[in-house]
Every structure is written in C-alpha cells, then in structure tokens.
Amino acid sequence: MSRHPVEIQIEIADKAIIAEDFDLLMSIYTDDAILVIEPGRNAVGKTAIRKAVEAIAVYFKNGLQVEQNGLEILYSGDTALVLANTVVSGPGFPATERKATYVFNKSPSGIWLCSIDNSYGHEVIGKYA
C-alpha cells in the first residue's frame, strides 16, 4: 500500500525532532499553526512554536525521542486528521504513549502542512481556564 503524504511528513517531523533540526521541523507547519505545549498552554504561529520546541528539547536534556506506535489518517478534501499513538521518551524520561491528534492542511502548492499539533489528545479538555 502506498503511503499517504501526511504519513511521510510525520516521519520527517519525528526525525527532525530527534536531530534537533528545527529549520526542517518548522517547514512542516503552516504559518498560523497551533501547538499544544502542555494541556492548558499553546504556542501559536511559527515563531512561538519554534521557541517552544527549542525549550522542549532542552527540557528533555537534548535527548528527546519520538516514534509513532500506530497511526491512522482520515482525510476529506484538503484536510486530514491524524490519530496516533505517539511514544515520547528521553534521558530520565521513561517512554510515555500519548493519544495524539494532528490536523494537516494541503497548501495551494500541494504540500500537506500541520496546522494543529496536539500530542495530548483529550487531555486538553477542561485545561483552558
């Protein structure tokens, strides 16, 4: 079965996170993307997202590992919803599986970009005052 372009983008993003290649990582996001840093706290826009992922890298002692333990993509036109079992680990951080949700939009030039990055899934409910 051929792989969906969104799946390839997620693979690139995961490798970029591990390699701390933030230029590459940022190329996966839309300009006005939203990233859930932790339930109740979001970063909006590329500048804020870059700052957040750089801080997250340091928090994980520059050893953040991320992999997908199964994912499914539902798409409709130029919108795709990703349901993923995302496993996060690092030095001193035992592997934790998150029920992640990502939304991708197909740009006018045909590239799928992440507009909503919520690795915490339903953990966000009720966390925004």
Residue 105 contacts its own copies per CB under 8 A: yes
DSSP 8-state class, residue 105: E
Of 108 and 126, the one with the shorter C-beta distance to its own copies is: 126
Return the bridge partners of 31, or none.
none
The count of chain residues that interact with its own copies, using the rule CB under 8 A, is 33
Residue 27 contacts its own copies per CB under 8 A: no
Looking at residues 30 to 89 of the shown chain, list those that interact with its own copies (rule: CB under 8 A): 30, 32-34, 36, 42, 44, 70-72, 74-77, 79, 81, 83-85
Return the bridge partners of 112, or none.
106
State whether residue 42 is helix, strand or coil: strand
Residue 116 contacts its own copies per CB under 8 A: yes
Indicate the pairing of strand 112-118 with strand 65-76: unpaired
Residue 108 contacts its own copies per CB under 8 A: no
Residue 13 contacts its own copies per CB under 8 A: no
Say how far apart CA 78 and CA 30 lie, in whole Å.
Answer: 13
Residue 15 contacts its own copies per CB under 8 A: no
| Residue 87 CB coordination number (10 Å) | 16
Give the ranges where 20-127 is alpha helix by DSSP (H): 22-26, 46-59
The footprint of its own copies (CB under 8 A) covers 30, 32-34, 36, 42, 44, 70-72, 74-77, 79, 81, 83-85, 99, 101, 103, 105, 115-116, 118, 121-122, 124-128
